Amino acid sequence: MNDSTRLPVLLRVWLMLMGCLILGAGAAGASATENDYLNHSYWDSGKAEFQGMEGRIQKYGIDRKAAARLVLVKEPFDPHKRVKSPGPDALPVLKMVFFRHIPTGVYDYFQTATLFFDRRTGRVLKYTMSSQDGCGNTFMEYLYQPDRTHRFRYFSYFDDEGDSETVLADTDFTFYDALPLVLRYRLEDGARYSLKLMESLIANKKQPLTVHPASVRVDRITDETWAGQSISEAFAATVQREDRQDRFFFEPSFPHRLIRWEKDNGDVLFQTAADFFYYWNYTRPEHRDYLKNRSNSE
């Protein structure tokens, strides 16, 4: 082969290699839709999205009246200390906080899940869960490691559990508990896609770190009623895995707040109020009823 024929061949090889690198980089990052949502200027105002929810959740085989809150807010995140910090190395994250109150007989359950989403990639960098009830406290911490592994630590009051740590290789899963935000990335009528779901970790006992394949179907619905709750228009995201089907209903226009959350076991939560405001300034006794009748506030 002479020099005149070698150059085109080398050029073609170089172009093929560059194409593979570009495709690989795209696959490793967040999708365009995800980036558009996470980096929307809506989150940059300094305000937080705050929702009140009510419904029923099963405990000890009985439906219990439950209350919950769902919070989304932009924060700076120190990647070294893994806490909120405006330092020079801070990463831009969206923090999602979900906390619920479930009364039982003579004592109640108070459970909180907090997830930190990297706005550049959509990856969950940290997830903590705490559960308190009349028997004791349980705490779980998940950390995404720089070496692309997942580290889970449990601190349980149950004497057959105690303290434990598990490190998983990267399986590219999605937390079920992150779905109230993750499903909002791809709300388009007729959308169909697949996920690998890490089952919910919100519990007073250590949960198995199981991942199941799941399919998601999105449909735009109008004039439907569920258990007395009438919704004129919404996006319905149906999450199917094995023989279980959960449904999430979101407002039809941006920012697509969660309206209703139905689980296959009969648990249900529905939006009772929502606002976009500086909720940390509303701490006085007279602010207790602030959210009432604010389901369409901005």
pLDDT digits (tens, 9 = 90+) for 174-225: 999 999 999 999 999 999 999 999 999 999 999 999 999 999 999 999 876 6
Do 24 and 148 fall into the same domain?
no
What are the φ and ψ backbone dihedral angles of 155, each rounded to 5 degrees? -130, 105
Whether 103 is in a domain gets the answer yes
Tell me, what's the pLDDT at 14?
Answer: 37
Rg of the chain over all Cα atoms, to the nearest angstrom: 22
* Residue 90, pLDDT above cutoff 90: yes
* pLDDT tops 90 at residue 104: yes
**Is 293 within the bounds of a domain?**
no
Whether residues 136 and 277 share a domain: the answer is yes
Please report whether residue 128 resides in a domain: yes
Write down the pLDDT at residue 230: 66
Residues 115 and 19 in one domain: no
- Residue 19 belongs to domain spanning: 1-30
Mean pLDDT throughout 254-264? 95
Region 163-177: mean pLDDT is: 92
Q: Phi/psi at 29 (nearest 5 deg)?
A: -95, -175
CA 43 to chain CA mean position, Å: 16
Question: How much is the pLDDT for 103?
Answer: 96
| 190-204, 230-244, 283-297: which is most confident | 190-204
| CA distances, 220 to each of 98, 232, 263, 296 (Å) | 25, 11, 19, 20
Residues 117 and 11 in one domain: no
Task: Indicate whether 9 and 134 sit together in one domain.
Answer: no
Q: Would residue 87 count as lying in a domain?
A: yes
Q: Residue 5 pLDDT > 80, yes or no?
A: no
Residue 41 and residue 2 share a domain: no
227 pLDDT tier (thresholds 50, 70, 90): low
Are 24 and 78 in a shared domain? no
Residue 167's pLDDT band (boundaries 50, 70, 90)? very high
- Whether 89 is in a domain gets the answer yes
Q: What is the dihedral of CA 201, 205, 209, 210, to 10 degrees?
A: -80
For residues 75 and 16, membership in a common domain is answered with no
Residue 292 placed within a domain? no
Report how far Cα 19 is from the mean position of its chain's Cα atoms.
33
Clarify whether residues 268 and 233 are in a common domain: yes
Do 122 and 5 have their domain in common?
no
Number of domains in the chain: 2
| Same domain, residue pair 4 and 148 | no
- Report yes or no on 61 lying in a domain: yes
Question: Residue 205: which of 267, 131, 109, 98 has the closest Cα?
Answer: 131
On whether residue 62 sits in a domain, the answer given is yes
The residue among 49 and 292 whose pLDDT is bigger is 49
- pLDDT band for position 146 (50/70/90)? confident
**Cα separation of 111 and 193, whole Å?**
30
In tens, the pLDDT along 31-43 reads 778 888 999 999 9
Paired with 94 in beta bridges are 74, 117
Two structure tokens written together for 292 = 């009432």
Residues 239 and 92 in one domain: yes
pLDDT at 291: 85
